[in-house]
Amino acid sequence: MTLGLALAQSRRIAPALLAQLEQSAREKKTQLIDEIIGSGTMSAHDVAVFAADKYQLPLLDLSEYNLSRVPSALSGNREFHAHRLLPLGRRENRLIVAMSDPANQAGVDVIRQKFSLPVETVVVEHDKLMKHVRSAGEALGTLKNALPTPTAQKMIEYDPVAAASARKVPGANDIDDAPVVRFLQKLLTEAFHRGASDLHFEPFEFFYRIRFRVDGVLQEVARPPLDIRDKIATRIKVLSRLDISEKRVPQDGRMKLLISMPKDKDGKETVDKAIDFRVSTLPTLFGEKIVMRILDSSSDKLDIDQLGYEPQQKALLQEVIKRPYGMVLVTGPTGSGKTVSLYTFLNMLNQGDINISTAEDPAEIQLPGINQVNVNDKAGLTFAAALKSFLRQDPDVIMVGEIRDLETADISIKAAQTGHLVLSTLHTNDAPTTLTRLMNMGVAPFNIASSVLLITAQRLARRLCTCKREGDLAPQVLIDAGFQESDLDGTWKPYHPVGCDRCSGSGYKGRCGIYQVMPITETIQQIILSHGTALQIAEQARKEGVLSLREAGLLKVKQGVTSLEEVLATTNT
Phi-psi region of 267 (alpha: psi -120 to 50; beta: other; left: phi over 0): left
Helix (H, G, I), strand (E, B) or coil at 261: strand
CA atoms within 13 A on the CB side of 379: 6
The chain-wide mean pLDDT, for the chain, equals: 84
pLDDT band at 71 (very low <50, low <70, confident <90, very high): low
What's the pLDDT at 263? 63
> pLDDT: is 30 or 161 the higher one?
30
Question: Per residue in 336-353, pLDDT tens?
Answer: 889 889 999 999 999 889
Q: What is the mean pLDDT of residues 268-278?
A: 76
**Per-residue pLDDT at 191 exceeds 80:** yes
CB atoms within 10 A of CB 270: 12
pLDDT band at 96 (very low <50, low <70, confident <90, very high): confident
Record the pTM.
0.64
State the distance between the two ends of the chain, measured CA to CA, in whole angstroms.
68
Helix %, strand %, coil % of the chain (to 5): 40, 25, 35
Nearest to 538 by CA among 521, 556, 567, 518: 518
Q: In what order do the strands lie in the sheet with 119-123?
A: 86-91, 94-99, 119-123
68: Cβ–Cβ under 8 A, 6 or more apart, which residues? none
Q: What is the mean pLDDT of residues 357-378?
A: 86
What's the pLDDT at 146? 29
**Per-residue pLDDT at 170 exceeds 50:** no
In angstroms, the CA 16 to CA 190 distance is 49
Q: What domains can be seen in the chain, in order of their start residue?
A: 43-142 (3.30.300.160), 177-295 (3.30.450.90), 304-462+512-548 (3.40.50.300)
What's the pLDDT at 168? 35
Question: Per residue in 142-159, pLDDT tens?
Answer: 333 322 333 322 222 323
**Per-residue pLDDT at 76 exceeds 90:** no
In angstroms, the CA 72 to CA 108 distance is 19
Q: What is the mean pLDDT of residues 361-371?
A: 84
In angstroms, the CA 481 to CA 573 distance is 8
3-state secondary structure 412-465: HHHHHHCCCEEEEEECCCCHHHHHHHHHHHCCCHHHHHHHEEEEEEEEEEEEEC
CB atoms within 10 A of CB 73: 20
Q: What is the mean pLDDT of residues 514-537?
A: 95
What's the pLDDT at 281? 95
What's the pLDDT at 177? 58
Q: Which residues face 157 on adjacent strands?
A: 90
pLDDT band at 172 (very low <50, low <70, confident <90, very high): very low
